[in-house]
A and B are shown apart, each in its own frame.
Chain A
Amino acid sequence: MKIQHPLARSLVTVSNWPFFIDLGIGACALAIFLAIVHTCMYWFEHPVPVVPISTSFAALPVYAFYSIGRMCIAYVLSLVFAIAYGYTAAYNRRLEPWMVALLDILQSIPVLSFLPPVVLAMVALISGRQLGIELGVILLIFTGQVWNLAFSFYSSLKSIPREMIEASRVYHFSGWQRFWQLEVPYATIGLVWNSIVSVAGGWFALIFCETFTMGNRNFQLPGLGSYIQKATDQGNVRALLGGIAAVILIVVATDQLVWRPLIAWSEKFKFEQVESAERITSPILTLLRRSPVLSSLPGRIFSSIEEPVFRRLAQSAETRCVRPLDRRSGQKTSAWLWTLAAASAAVAVWAVAEGAFMLRTVTWPDLRLLFAGAAATFLRVVAALIISAAWTVPVGVAIGLNIRLARIVQPIAQILASVPATAFFPILLIGLVRIGGGLGIGAIALMLLGTQWYILFNVIAGAMSIPSDLREVASLYHFTRWQRWTKLILPGIFPYLITGMVTASGGAWNASVMAEYSHVQGQTLQTIGLGAMIDAATDSGRFALLLLATIMISLIVVTMNRLVWRRLYRLAETRFKLEG
């Protein structure tokens, strides 16, 4: 099976936008963040009732339903938004550099660091209580899912072969027809693979969001996350295991019932000249295709909607002339674009001033703590990455070189990678509390839980991709073990390893927010770290510190991506690429 790595690739997109664009984008992001913080400061005292959470098994299906519902709403929203965003970015030349730079930054920022302020803001905005938290959570999952989908759609649009576009122009396709017959089909495969990654990330965030507590206030929503959290609080191991089993069941079922049929179906959109020998099959899809109603009904419904649209569009001027591809669209920037630019500039200036004003309450000890926290979290992320790589590389290679074993293990590792680690956090926390270990080391274990699977399944894929003739050469010339590793295996898996590490490092930063600060069985576990500071600052309502910590975490992640991962990725794409 061919593994695609859409997420990691989009994380280290090669774009050399001028520095000032990044600065501008940063200022705009700051403005949005401040707007959120302001709203929630204003409404801080608003009361929120706590929904009682039951831990009986009978309640599980209902909770699972709630969680899945939230996921679905968030996913549909992100898909729609991603397509609109990608489309605009690809076709509006003036907005393009800004929108891509914004994507680049937003998709590397750990979303969970925004959870506290976002939930507070949404609760404040919508006084219908429950709805506020719901929307906050959905908005958060949406933010976590949308960027890589948008990037995937954008880069698909950008890579449509020129002759295909020319064909659509010369045959007078309308924008509508081009969208459905060229652009969407061409982008489908990328969207499907990115959706898998996105939804896995969504579950991670959802479980965490549902367990979200802040100081004395509890924002729990009925759902699988809160079920697990409650079970943990009560020390009810049976309920806890039941909750985790439900999460795993949902993930596995999604994989089998949704993703595999989707992947098999999307094979049709593969842009290839000859039919590939290896095809992904899905019994479910075969079943659906056999059903006479299902195979003809959607077509009929679609065409009854479509036909009038096409007839109408054929009358319009757009489809009568051939539009040249290289005509500058709108030489003059339209008025609304200028207004938009001016407005965002003004807001950005306001935000920087406001932010600076707000930061005056930050004291020197705070700053010292912040830098110490940044260093601690950074070290933890690095440690988690090193430990994951240290065990997954030998194990993954051993599995990957054994084809029969790999066929069995790889899908399992892939599913494990999409089981939200957040579901296991409570167990680990209980263990930590029992042993009496602090979160200082425990946080690393929590990060590991979330990150190692990405690396494992990438390494397996990498080892599988090493051509057998190269392996034969190695054994023919009696390579020593050292030579085998340094000359064959490590260079061979390098691109895959980097891909896994990029994804894992994003996950680790995200996990830091919940790994470093937790409420378990009535006590608060906490250690030094940026993630802990974000939580603590939200708990105590110190928004200046929250702002600073969030900026800090974003800066570190973006800088790391630019300085380390992007370079390694370029190296992997050029020197260590196994051709053909």
Chain B
Amino acid sequence: MQEAVVSNAPPVTASAAEAIIRAEKIEKFYAQPSENRIQVISATDLTIVPGEIVALLGPSGSGKSTMLRMLSGLSTPSAGQVYWHGKPIAEAEINVSIVFQSFALFPWLTVLENVAAPLQARGLPPAERRERSLKMLDTVGLDGFEAAYPKELSGGMRQRVGFARALVVEPEVLFMDEPFSALDVLTAENLRSELLELWSSKTMPTKAVFLVTHNIEEAVLLADRIIVLGRNPGRIRTDFRVPLPQPRDRKSEAFTQLVDYIYKVLTRPDTAPAEVPGPRVRDQRQMRYQMLPHARPGGMAGLLELLLDKGGRDDIYRMADDLAFEIDDLFPIVEAAQLLGFLKVEEGDAVITPAGEDFANSEILRQKELFRDAAQSNILLLRQIRRALETKSDHTVPAEFFLDMLDEQFSEEECERQMDTAIAWGRYAELFDYDSGRRRFIMPDSQEEEISPSEDRL
């Protein structure tokens, strides 16, 4: 039924002529020293047309921010081309602004100077700079704060400065990179509705807004069109118009159905994109190592226990809502539990497996044992580390050794994170210990090994 809501929506087709920004087959990848390369974003077409708020939604690692930077000219695609009114973006005189997650204000400039800085770059005389900046500060509700320094303001106020600086240049496209995620819930809600007001009353001299977010409700609340990205590598999973009229009510049936639909899209098993002809592009699912979700064993135990309380099956969306989690917080935990065979995802619902039930019902030592078994049979990296420790006579292996192997399929940064996760899991499962000073894996004390089985017998 939810599917129907969406398929009724008009298909997203924008004629190339009217598009402000048009991306053609843009890709991002990092070349490795060896022949293969790490694909971050696979070939994607995208247009930004006047009159709409587009939300780009996706889990972490789906390349949302990279996409924004390619569309705004800050980053060059590895392949493909971005056009600004039909002209390659690198040569065009583009007029865009970005509102940053971290605000990116200059702490040594006053509020007024911060807002006036982009005008200064355009060579406007001081009097005009001042006048336009003051007017914009007035619009965003910062009257009387012009002489303050950003660090004297609250987070919400600072983001208002960010908006004022973005709008003062009258950009054609306003990019926003998770603009509300560093703010508390109330402040964020307040700013969102003010943004909508500015947009709908046309006080904002902006033709289109491009919003990157990992907050599903935010996307449904604000956007005229939502693009959902999948990851490994990043690609568009769905692109649809939001048929709800503004102002939208979070409690309405249509709203929650749409949110639920997006959850389903995000949790639906990944279908691999069609194999791209050309140079060897290997994406991570074809590789030896699974990508470990960055979740802690304690988090998994908590989630499974919660799920058990709910009768073994619950809507992921509802769980996230109950826990006040955003998708970036919850998904890794769900995925990790899925990887270890403790739960299954069916139609946006998390369903606990018998192994998961056993795990959730056990006390801590037994939990560790179950975790160890699950980890060793399901996760290649952990199995390899353990084997290496068992075979080596001194029972220690440098982490470097495994980093070199991970290096083949993950970016440098991701390698480190994979290693950190593996270490956390391995330590919890008592598969190995890790000496961070020497960066070596070591076999846990043999004494403990002897004690734990005897305890289990009791």
Contact with A along B130-169 (1 / 0, CB 8 A): 0000000000000000000101100000000000010001
| Cα distance A315–B98 in the bound complex, in angstroms | 22
The one of A171, A182, A312 that contacts B118, using a Cβ cutoff of 8 Å: A171
- CB neighbours (8 Å) of B76 from chain A are 324, 326-327
- CB neighbours (8 Å) of B151 from chain A are 272-275
- CB neighbours (8 Å) of B125 from chain A are 307, 311
| Cα distance A571–B436 in the bound complex, in angstroms | 11
Q: How far is the CB of A246 from chain B (nearest CB, A)?
A: 37
Does A164 belong to the interface (CB within 8 Å)? yes
Does B279 belong to the interface (CB within 8 Å)? no
**Contact, CB under 8 Å: A166 / B104:** yes
Does B379 belong to the interface (CB within 8 Å)? no
| Cα distance A179–B152 in the bound complex, in angstroms | 25
Contact with B along A305-319 (1 / 0, CB 8 A): 001001111110001
Interface SS of B by simple majority: loop
**Contact, CB under 8 Å: A170 / B437:** no
Does A321 belong to the interface (CB within 8 Å)? yes
**Contact, CB under 8 Å: A322 / B74:** yes
Does A93 belong to the interface (CB within 8 Å)? no
- CB neighbours (8 Å) of B118 from chain A are 171-173
Chain A interface: which of B85-93, B300-308, B351-359? B85-93
Q: How far is the CB of A2 from chain B (nearest CB, A)?
A: 16
Known A182-B106, A575-B437; judge A310-B120 contact (CB<8 A): yes
Chain B interface: which of A32-40, A263-271, A374-382, A528-536? A263-271
- CB neighbours (8 Å) of B104 from chain A are 161, 163-164, 166-167
Q: How far is the CB of A317 from chain B (nearest CB, A)?
A: 9
The one of A274, A315, A326 that contacts B123, using a Cβ cutoff of 8 Å: A315
- CB neighbours (8 Å) of B376 from chain A are none
| Cα distance A571–B121 in the bound complex, in angstroms | 45
Does A127 belong to the interface (CB within 8 Å)? no
**Total contacts A to B, CB within 8 angstroms?**
106
| Cα distance A169–B175 in the bound complex, in angstroms | 14
**Contact, CB under 8 Å: A185 / B106:** yes
**Contact, CB under 8 Å: B75 / A325:** yes
- CB neighbours (8 Å) of B73 from chain A are 170, 321-322, 324
The one of B96, B102, B122 that contacts A170, using a Cβ cutoff of 8 Å: B96
**Contact, CB under 8 Å: A174 / B74:** no
**Contact, CB under 8 Å: A269 / B107:** yes
| Cα distance A458–B36 in the bound complex, in angstroms | 50
Q: How far is the CB of A351 from chain B (nearest CB, A)?
A: 35
Q: How far is the CB of A302 from chain B (nearest CB, A)?
A: 12
**Contact, CB under 8 Å: A170 / B97:** yes
- CB neighbours (8 Å) of B108 from chain A are 185, 268-269
The one of B89, B92, B101 that contacts A163, using a Cβ cutoff of 8 Å: B101
Known A274-B151, A324-B76; judge A167-B100 contact (CB<8 A): yes
Q: How far is the CB of A185 from chain B (nearest CB, A)?
A: 4
| Cα distance A228–B125 in the bound complex, in angstroms | 57
The one of B117, B126, B165 that contacts A181, using a Cβ cutoff of 8 Å: B117
Q: How far is the CB of A87 from chain B (nearest CB, A)?
A: 19
**Contact, CB under 8 Å: A310 / B437:** no
Q: How far is the CB of A553 from chain B (nearest CB, A)?
A: 32
Does A320 belong to the interface (CB within 8 Å)? yes
Q: How far is the CB of A169 from chain B (nearest CB, A)?
A: 6
Q: How far is the CB of A272 from chain B (nearest CB, A)?
A: 6
Does A329 belong to the interface (CB within 8 Å)? no
Does A303 belong to the interface (CB within 8 Å)? yes
The one of A271, A303, A326 that contacts B75, using a Cβ cutoff of 8 Å: A326
Chain A, 211-229, CB within 8 A of any chain B CB? none
- CB neighbours (8 Å) of A326 from chain B are 75-76
Chain B, 59-115, CB within 8 A of any chain A CB? 69, 72-76, 89-94, 96-98, 100-102, 104, 106-109
**Contact, CB under 8 Å: A171 / B107:** no
**Contact, CB under 8 Å: B102 / A181:** no
Does A574 belong to the interface (CB within 8 Å)? yes
| Cα distance A166–B100 in the bound complex, in angstroms | 9
Top 9 nearest A-B pairs by Cβ distance?
A: A314-B123, A171-B118, A322-B73, A163-B104, A167-B104, A311-B123, A185-B108, A324-B76, A163-B100
Could you show 29 A-B contacts with beta carbons less than 8 Å apart?
Answer: A163-B101, A163-B104, A166-B74, A169-B74, A170-B73, A170-B97, A173-B118, A177-B121, A181-B106, A181-B109, A185-B108, A269-B107, A272-B107, A275-B151, A311-B125, A313-B121, A313-B123, A314-B123, A319-B121, A321-B73, A321-B90, A321-B93, A322-B74, A322-B89, A324-B76, A326-B76, A571-B437, A574-B436, A574-B437
Binding site for A on B (CB under 8 A): 69, 72-76, 89-94, 96-98, 100-102, 104, 106-109, 117-118, 120-126, 149, 151-152, 165, 169, 175, 436-437
Binding site for B on A (CB under 8 A): 161, 163-164, 166-167, 169-174, 177, 181-182, 185, 268-275, 303, 307, 310-315, 319-322, 324-327, 571, 574-575
Instruction: Known pairs A163-B100, A314-B123; list 14 more (Cβ under 8 Å).
Output: A161-B102, A163-B102, A167-B104, A170-B74, A170-B96, A170-B97, A172-B121, A173-B121, A174-B121, A177-B120, A307-B125, A312-B123, A314-B121, A321-B73
